[in-house]
Chains A and B, each alone.
Chain A
Amino acid sequence: MPNTLYDKIWNDHLVDLQDDGTALLFVDRHLVHEVTSPQAFEGLRNSNRKVRHPNLTLAVADHNVPTTDRSKGISDKESKIQVETLEANCKEFGIKLFGMNDKRQGIVHVTGPEQGFTQPGTVIVCGDSHTATHGAFGSLAFGIGTSEVEHVLATQTLVQKKAKNFRVNVNGKLPLGVTSKDVILQIIGKIGTAGGTGCVIEYAGDLIRSLSVEQRMTICNMTIEGGARAGLIAPDEKIFKYLKDRPMSPKDKDWDKAMEYWKSLKTDEGAKFDKEIDLQAEEILPMITWGTSPQDVITIDEKVPNPQNEKDEDRKNSLERSLNYMGLKPNMAAKDIKIDKVFIGSCTNGRIEDLREAAKILKDKKIAAHVHAMVVPGSGLVKEQAEQEGLDKIFVNSGFEWREPGCSMCLAMNADKLKPQERCASTSNRNFEGRQGRGGRTHLVSPGMAAAAAISGNLDDVRKYQN
């Protein structure tokens, strides 16, 4: 029977299958960070359990770390305890950790691929919903809760039920100024935030294949915003080339053997999908979110919706609530939305190509006087690379702040946050109420669109600044 890529990875990891369909799945790679792991390690200690395979786990502190000068450590007492707890737990259980002053430190989903820890055909988990990012390498990668983190640490397995197969095909070529961020926002707008619930999404089509490795990561990253726990893309030469000679990639004979397996990782002709949708790349335009759910998307040329046009009562109430929270009026043009802040970074758009894309727009330009803008590279290595290319100077000269790596204002757990009613053009992944700070208002955009917004002082069309 023809199988999907998801079916194949699933079958290759079955340790046990119960009659009711509950499976015990082997986990090849486990990423750990400071926020969702302390209670898991505590649980291990309380029940006198060990970590089964410490070398299949990699830890890095990212959510809480300061993005300003780190020489004096973390000033927030609770954040400091959490980061120190991670360090102590990794030491006690023998887990490799990239500390706050290690240049390999970064957001888990940037660090994993960068180190070659992320590999095709593996099952990768992390106590973070954006683990889907790693699916770009053709791995089955998904977020788990803390109890499951503890389960993986203790057993190197997870209890799971098989999800449905959902394929999203994107064909054609993207217009100038349109990026993979716009593609995924468009997909979420189309399927809704619960559209992928219970499914694993495979992204396919010639547009997807034409994307770079990092652009693919942006798409897979936001899969969870469409409700699917995992999103993946069949690995190809681009992926293999990316992984070659990374510190944790297979070496020598193992590399050849791995390549043989990796090349087999694709959906068979005629495999059955429970759900399938098609998008044409030419029809995708630069997108923004106007509301408080990632499905609230419009193009930069459009207007904010009017609840009066909604027949469904729940939908109408929800639109009204969002508009009210966002401080927007119905039918307002996207380009008339004035912004206060710009955030470029996160596991969605904090990699080198994202920074290049924004820097290209900002070169020789100044950001609007009323805008406060910052760039937070996804890892110390991204930061170093950007500095070698002189991108930091472009950002700083235009008026951006150039920060240390971490999750930062994507979820505002550290000091980087919006004040009530402040409005931000952000390259992150969630525009939920309060996500970037209590009362803060988030518009999700691509890095180029964030740069354009910074220059104009309002949401604007990146194509205007394209050379």
Chain B
Amino acid sequence: MQKFNTLKSIPAYLPIVNIDTDMIIPKQFLKTIKRTGLGKNLFFEMRYDDQGKEIGDFILNQNPFNNSKILIAGKNFGCGSSREHAPWALLDFGITCVISSSFADIFYSNCFKNGILPIVLEEEKIKELSEYANRKEEISVDLNENKIVYGNNEIKFDVDKFKKKCLLEGLDDIALSLKKSEKIENFEKDLKNQKPWIFND
């Protein structure tokens, strides 16, 4: 997994609430057996017209937002399905940080598995940051320090310590869990004794 440390970019602002995973990446693109190549289809239905032409009004079709690495969006971002294609599409497009006042649980967890940092901030702060998007000014995110710097201001954000460590170091969490093999084996041994039917299928 790609490490996440610091990031500087003009943010793109998408002021829509409840952006669901169907909007982020519609089902016709879930037929892939790869993780890559989904960026061109990110927000497909908002981004292209029926002829497949880019819709000029859509923020990510506009310069400089077509190069944004930070997306600011309305509350409950990523609700709906568990498809990891949603963070894969964001990542492939180049977005590695999403800021919202709330995220859906599965999407939130999926981000951390892919080197994307989701940041939860109060609505008021979101509005402040969105001004930087409107003015096309850069903001920077520092995961080490848990802070966003914009102009002469900074905001602190919370992130789970374990998740932060995984992002900073780009850790493979399967390898981490496999280090606990002995504990897993002991658990399984007890399970076989106490609930033999679990393995008996």
- Residues of A at under 8 Å CB distance from B? 15-16, 18, 20, 22, 24, 26, 28, 35-36, 38-39, 42, 47, 49, 53, 55-56, 63-64, 76, 78-79, 81-82, 85, 117, 119, 122, 127-129, 131, 143-148, 150-151, 154-157, 159, 161, 193-194, 197-198, 227, 229, 248, 250-251, 254-255, 257-258, 261, 293, 314, 317-318, 321, 411-413, 420, 430, 432-435, 438
Q: List, sorted by A's number, 10 A–B pairs whose CB atoms are closer than 8 Å.
A: A24-B180, A26-B191, A55-B201, A127-B82, A147-B114, A194-B76, A254-B197, A257-B195, A413-B28, A438-B45
B105 touching A227, Cβ below 8 Å = yes
A38 touching B184, Cβ below 8 Å = no
Which of A49, A122, A147, A321 has most B Cβ within 10 Å?
Answer: A147
B23 touching A145, Cβ below 8 Å = no
B27 at the interface (CB under 8 A from A): yes
Least CB distance from B157 to A in Å reads 17
Cα distance, A127 to B84, chains bound together (Å): 9
Beyond A56-B201, A79-B31, A411-B27, 5 additional contacts (C-beta under 8 Å) are A53-B199, A78-B32, A127-B84, A194-B102, A258-B197
Cα distance, A49 to B161, chains bound together (Å): 27
Cα distance, A141 to B44, chains bound together (Å): 31
Least CB distance from B167 to A in Å reads 13
User: Which B residues from 1 to 37 make CB contacts under 8 A with A?
Assistant: 15-18, 20, 22-23, 26-28, 30-35
Determine the chain A residues whose CB is within 8 A of the CB of B84 once the complex forms: 36, 39, 127, 145-147
A20 touching B161, Cβ below 8 Å = yes
B106 at the interface (CB under 8 A from A): yes
- Residues of B at under 8 Å CB distance from A? 15-18, 20, 22-23, 26-28, 30-35, 45, 50, 74-76, 79-84, 87, 102-106, 109-110, 113-114, 160-162, 172-174, 177-178, 180, 183-184, 187-188, 191, 195-201
Least CB distance from B57 to A in Å reads 14
The listed residue (B16, B45, B82, B110) touching A434 by CB distance below 8 A is: B45
Q: A20-B162, A47-B174 are in contact. Are A413 and B31 (CB under 8 A)?
A: yes
B82 touching A193, Cβ below 8 Å = no
Cα distance, A60 to B15, chains bound together (Å): 39
Cα distance, A53 to B17, chains bound together (Å): 41
Cα distance, A117 to B113, chains bound together (Å): 28
B178 touching A254, Cβ below 8 Å = no
Least CB distance from B194 to A in Å reads 8
B183 touching A438, Cβ below 8 Å = no
Instruction: Name which residue of chain B comes closest to A127, CB basis.
Output: B82
Determine the chain B residues whose CB is within 8 A of the CB of A119 once the complex forms: 197
B183 touching A39, Cβ below 8 Å = no
Q: A15-B183, A156-B184 are in contact. Are A194 and B75 (CB under 8 A)?
A: yes
Cα distance, A161 to B161, chains bound together (Å): 12
Cα distance, A15 to B178, chains bound together (Å): 12
Least CB distance from B192 to A in Å reads 11
Least CB distance from A297 to B in Å reads 14
Cα distance, A53 to B162, chains bound together (Å): 27
Instruction: Name which residue of chain A comes closest to B123, CB basis.
Output: A314
Cα distance, A16 to B162, chains bound together (Å): 14
Least CB distance from A97 to B in Å reads 14
B17 touching A128, Cβ below 8 Å = no
Determine the chain B residues whose CB is within 8 A of the CB of A321 once the complex forms: 16
Determine the chain B residues whose CB is within 8 A of the CB of A413 once the complex forms: 27-28, 30-31
Cα distance, A64 to B23, chains bound together (Å): 19
Determine the chain B residues whose CB is within 8 A of the CB of A78 once the complex forms: 31-32
A197 touching B104, Cβ below 8 Å = yes
Determine the chain A residues whose CB is within 8 A of the CB of B174 once the complex forms: 47, 49, 150-151, 154-155
B22 touching A227, Cβ below 8 Å = no
A430 touching B80, Cβ below 8 Å = yes
Instruction: Name which residue of chain B comes closest to A253, CB basis.
Output: B196
Cα distance, A314 to B16, chains bound together (Å): 8
Instruction: Name which residue of chain B comes closest to A40, CB basis.
Output: B84
> What 4 A-B pairs come out closest when comparing CB atoms?
A250-B197, A147-B113, A38-B33, A78-B31
The listed residue (B20, B76, B160) touching A432 by CB distance below 8 A is: B20
The listed residue (B31, B104, B173) touching A151 by CB distance below 8 A is: B173
Least CB distance from A155 to B in Å reads 5
Q: A229-B106, A433-B45 are in contact. Are A293 and B18 (CB under 8 A)?
A: yes
Which of A22, A128, A434 has most B Cβ within 10 Å?
Answer: A434
Determine the chain B residues whose CB is within 8 A of the CB of A129 once the complex forms: 80-82, 106
The listed residue (B17, B105, B184) touching A229 by CB distance below 8 A is: B105
Determine the chain A residues whose CB is within 8 A of the CB of B197 once the complex forms: 119, 250, 254-255, 257-258
Cα distance, A169 to B80, chains bound together (Å): 24
B18 touching A143, Cβ below 8 Å = no
Determine the chain B residues whose CB is within 8 A of the CB of A79 once the complex forms: 31
Least CB distance from A412 to B in Å reads 6
The listed residue (A20, A250, A412, A430) touching B160 by CB distance below 8 A is: A20
The listed residue (A16, A53, A194) touching B183 by CB distance below 8 A is: A16
Cα distance, A321 to B174, chains bound together (Å): 42
B177 touching A159, Cβ below 8 Å = yes
The listed residue (B26, B106, B199) touching A144 by CB distance below 8 A is: B106
Cα distance, A122 to B200, chains bound together (Å): 14
Instruction: Name which residue of chain B comes closest to A122, CB basis.
Output: B198
Cα distance, A396 to B187, chains bound together (Å): 52
Determine the chain A residues whose CB is within 8 A of the CB of B161 once the complex forms: 20
The listed residue (A42, A145, A248, A432) touching B33 by CB distance below 8 A is: A42
B74 touching A314, Cβ below 8 Å = yes
Least CB distance from B128 to A in Å reads 16
Instruction: Name which residue of chain B comes closest to A259, CB basis.
Output: B197
Cα distance, A155 to B188, chains bound together (Å): 11
Instruction: Name which residue of chain A comes closest to B30, CB basis.
Output: A35
Determine the chain B residues whose CB is within 8 A of the CB of A154 once the complex forms: 174, 177-178
Determine the chain B residues whose CB is within 8 A of the CB of A155 once the complex forms: 174, 177-178, 184
Cα distance, A293 to B79, chains bound together (Å): 10
A56 touching B33, Cβ below 8 Å = no
B50 touching A432, Cβ below 8 Å = no
Cα distance, A194 to B106, chains bound together (Å): 12
The listed residue (A18, A128, A148, A261) touching B109 by CB distance below 8 A is: A148
